[in-house]
Structures are given as structure tokens and as C-alpha cells.
Structure 1
Amino acid sequence: MKLGDFKIHSLNGGITQIDGGAMFGVVPKALWTRKYEVNDKNQIPLPTHPILIQTEDKSILIDTGIGTSKLTAKERKNFGVEYESKIEEDLKALELTVEDIDYVLMTHLHFDHAAGLTDNEGRAIFKNAIHVIQQDEWHEFQSPNIRSKSTYWSKNDGDFKEKLLLFEKEIEIYPGIKLIHTGGHSYGHAIVTIESEGEKAVHMGDIFPTIAHRNPLWVTAYDDYPMQSIREKERLIPNFIIQDYWFLYYHDVTYFAVKFDKGNNKEIETYITRN
């Protein structure tokens, strides 16, 4: 899609199949299955789609997918991985390589967003990029607790830390492109806002992972701080709708970008699908 002077692309970072109950928490299955497809194993398709922003002089990537050959056979089975990252092929189609990425912006460092940061030797995939991460998120990744160690994987660490830029509340890494700390899904979770020539978009990461999670109360069982996720969604989603933002999705199986109706902010006004 085009946003002002920017071009925004959805890349293929690989796919997972995650338990529907985990992705919708306490929401009854009878309700969430009206909004999102599910298979006979109670799994929902949860692809990973890193978002590439091309400005006049920079190539900026949001999150990195599940990588290539990073997951064990057991992990691929448990997470329903049917295929892994195709980022390099997608970049090639845009006449780019991983070496052309100038910034990598991380909403958070759970494995399905961070496995594409490094290869199996810990070498940075995007070796020329500055990697921007919220400070608390980075420190929990380095020293996870009894709960978070299941998704902050040490094998996703590596020499990208030699080009690491930490922030606390918010940072503008390029005119019109900001990371803003929200917490909720993880303590250091961040969202990304994008603005160019009066056009606006937001990627709310995993506090709004699919359009089925539009209701502020619909948060995942993976959210470490669900009340913080609810607080942020309750305030931010209506604000972004009123200001005519596009919502960009990393995980939604169907939608890449959506605008909601200002008059009835639960209704989709316009959209861009994956295909």
C-alpha cells in the first residue's frame, strides 16, 4: 500500500497454528469462532507478516517472523508451523536484500516476532540495521522470568545487539515513524505509528493482533498484563479511528490493513487483504 510518500509492504515471515483458546483468552468459543476461522484441532491460523516501510532513503522493517530453521521439529509440531520465513524471497521481489534494511523495529521479542532476528549461529540476519527495542522488553528478553522464558528464547539473541537502540516511552526513528511503549501483551510491548503527507497508519502489535480482537476486552491468554492491554485498546483504538488511521496487522490471516467507520467504529469501512 501507499501511505503519503511511503510504501508499505506485508512480507511473509512464516505461519503458526495456535490454540484458539490461547488467542482469545476468556472469550467463549461460541463468540470468537464467529469472527475467526478454526480447524478441528481448535487451532487458528496465525501467520507472521513483518511490515516493510520504504521511505525515500530508508528501508524499515517491523518485526522479523519465525525465521528459517530456528524451530526444532517439536516446536514446529506444537506451533503448527506449515512453512517458515520467506522474507528473503519477498525482499528480492522488491529488488532488496536483508543487507538493505536500515532499521528493525521490534514491537516485542516473543519468538514468533523475534526468531527471524538471527541465524542458528547468532548472526544478525539484518546485519546493517539498527535494531530498536523498548528498554524493559530488552532486559526481560535477556533475563526472562518463570512465565516469559517459554517465549523469550536465548537462541534468538545474537550480534544484532552491537547495533541496538533502546528507548523508554517513545522514539521517532525517522520523521513520521514512531515506536510508543504500551505494555500489556508484555511489559515492554510497543506499537508503531506511521505518518506521511497527512496519511496515517498504526501497527498495534499483539494488543490488537487480528481484527477479531477489536473489542477491548478480547485479549489473548498470552498477555502478561491483560488489564493494561484493555486500558490501551480502550483509549487508543477509538482515537486512531477518529483520526482516520489505517490499522496494520502482523498476524491476521486475511487482512493486511483496515480502516474502521468513524460513525460506527466496530464496522470496517475499507480494507486491503493479503492476496
Structure 2
Amino acid sequence: MESLELQGLTFKWLNGGVTRMDGGAMFGVVPKPLWSRKYEVNDKNQIELRTDPIFFQLDGKNILIESGIGSGKLTDKQKRNYGVTEESSIEDSLKTLGVTPEDIDIILMTHMHFDHACGLTKYEGEKLVPVFPNAEIYTSQTEWDEMRNPNIRSKNTYWKENWESIAHQVKPFSEEVEVLDGVKMIHTGGHSDGHSIIVIERGENKLIHMADLMPTHAHKNPLWVLAYDDYPMTSIYAKEKWIQKAIDEGFWFLFYHDAVYRALKWNEQDEIEKTIDREK
């Protein structure tokens, strides 16, 4: 299990499963000869995308960023379509840390697409129940509203199986919320209308999780946005603002999807200065 250890703060990456999505869709209008230099692609034009939640502890709270792709919820057809060869084993990952799903206090959901939210619920017999029954689940009000009432496009990724049994745990926010001292969720829109990023500034520690505005390190260019983005120009504006600010101020970037890096820092010369690599 990879970890990023900072002054008084440690982040651990849990095993949340893996998808292999179409590279063209993941890089939108960017030509393949360009993006394929920066991120490995297989002969089916698929790129590996992890779905690994990030665990950390702060102020006596056990916190997750995202929830993984879940286990036992996808049909064989869905697994084929999304290139899922490995489902979540979050409980096993937590066990190695001496933590149970019941011990999770807070879950920060940047958005509620299936590859982020499937891990929130599980089947007990034929009934869906919360995986983390004691957690408060934060997501933007805009995201929560669309999750429950998806439009003709978004209904393919907002599933009732992922929200009905955890509705009582959700704490939606408007534009920004400080969940704990120095831990903020900020509504950006772009990838989805309700998409948010996470900014952590605690002591000397500075970190940012751009979520699906920048799902991998190869998406750093503000213009390299996903074909899956509902509002691509909003994504571009948010990336221009936050990526440069984070680099200028020496932030660590945390990743949920990246198959190469768990976290990294760029310097002011646009070079990768420090990394936490994914163990393969």
C-alpha cells in the first residue's frame, strides 16, 4: 500500500479496483499521437484508470476521498464495457490499517459518477446497504440533485443503486465547505455540473485533489479535457485557475485514477519534482 507521509499527515491509497477506458474518450479532441506519448495505451485503445480511494486521519477522524468501484454490483456486460478486471477490496485494505468500514467518519465525494460512487453501497442478499454506515458523505448540492434526477445524458452514470441507501448520510453543500480545519471542498463544475475539488492546507502541508478535471498527470494541459466532460469550457477555466495556483504555491497533487503516480509535485519550471509512484 503506497503512502504519502508529510508533517503530521499521512495519505494511504486503498485498493478500489481498476477500469480500462477508451483513450480517445479520456483525452477528447487531443490527437492520439500526442496523448499516447504521455500515458500508456493498449492495442484496444484502452488506458488503465485506477479507482483507488485515498485514506487519511485528521482531528481524530477517519477520512476517505472517493469510494472505489465497489464489489459485486457490476454485471458482466458492464465489466466488459468499462474494462473492469478488478473490483474493490476496500475492507481488506482498511484491515491492514487496523480500520473497519464502520470506523470511517467522513467521505469526500468530488462527484457521484459510478466509478467514484459504486463503492458507497453493497448487496446484503438482494438488499443494498451502506458500506460505510457511520460516515458523513459530502458532495455538492448540484451533484446530489443531479444524482437523484439525472438527465438524458447523465442517467448512464448516476445510478439509484449508488444513492438510495445512503441518502440519509449525505451532507450536500453549496459552493464551498470546510469539512475540517484546512480541508475544503470547492464546487468547480466542468466534468459534471456538480463536480468539486479538494484543497487541503494544514500547517506546512498543501495538497490538492483535482479529481476528474485532471484524472491523470497526463491531463495537466488545461486544454486536454475529457469527452466525458459535460461542460468542457468550465473544466478548462477551472484547470487554468487551480493547476497553476497549486504549482506556484508548492502543492502536492493527489490522484484517484492515475495508474502511474499516486501523488506528485511540479516545480515552477514545469518539471515533475517529486512523486509517489504506484506499485505494480
Output the TM-score relative to the length of structure 2: 0.96
**Amino acid paired to 2:231:** Y
How far apart are 1:197 and its partner, in Å?
1.7
Q: CA deviation at 1:5?
A: 2.0
What does 1:20-99 correspond to in 2, within 5 Å?
20-99=23-102
Question: Which range moved further: 156-165 or 46-55?
Answer: 156-165
Aligned positions of 1:1-275 closer than 5 A: 1-120=4-123, 121-262=127-268, 264-265=269-270, 267-275=271-279
CA offsets 1:107-152 (integer angstroms, 9 cap, x no match) = 0000000000101323110000001110010000001001001111
- Structure 1 contact 5–196 (Cα < 8 Å) conserved: no
For structure 2, the residue ranges without an aligned partner over 5 or more in a row are: none
| Identity %, equivalent residues | 54
Aligned partners of 1:24 and 1:32 also within 8 Å: yes
| Separation (CA, whole Å) in 2 of partners of 1:154 and 1:37 | 33
Aligned residue for 1:16, secondary structure, equals strand
Quote how far apart the aligned CAs of 1:6 are.
1.8
Which amino acid is the alignment partner of residue 202 of structure 1? I
* Whole-Å separation in 1 of the counterparts to 2:62 and 2:26: 31
**Local SS of the residue matching 1:123:** strand
Q: May I ask how many residue pairs the two structures share in their alignment?
A: 273
For 2:201 and 2:69, how far apart are their aligned partners in 1? 28
Q: Which amino acid aligns with 1:237?
A: I
Letter in 2 for 1:229: S
Q: CA deviation at 1:85?
A: 0.2
Q: Read off the aligned partner of 2:162 and give its amino acid letter.
A: N
Residue 73 of structure 1 aligns with an amino acid whose one-letter code is D
> Counterpart of 2:275 in 1: which secondary structure?
strand
TM-score in terms of structure 1 length: 0.97
* Amino acid aligned to 1:69: G
Counterpart contact for 1:3–1:195, Cα < 8 Å: no
Asked whether the equivalents of residues 123 and 159 of structure 1 are also in contact (C-alpha less than 8 Å), the reply is yes
Which ranges in structure 1 are unaligned for 5 or more consecutive residues?
Answer: none
Per-residue CA shift, 1:249-274, capped at 9, x if unaligned? 00000100100012x12x21111111
> SS where residue 129 of structure 2 aligns?
coil
CA distance in structure 2 between the partners assigned to 1:62 and 1:245 by the alignment: 17
Name which of structure 1's ranges 68-77 and 159-168 shifts more when overlaid on structure 2. 159-168
> Structure 2: which amino acid aligns with 1:29?
K
Aligned residue for 1:191, secondary structure, equals strand
Q: How far is the alpha carbon of 1:12 from its aligned partner?
A: 1.2
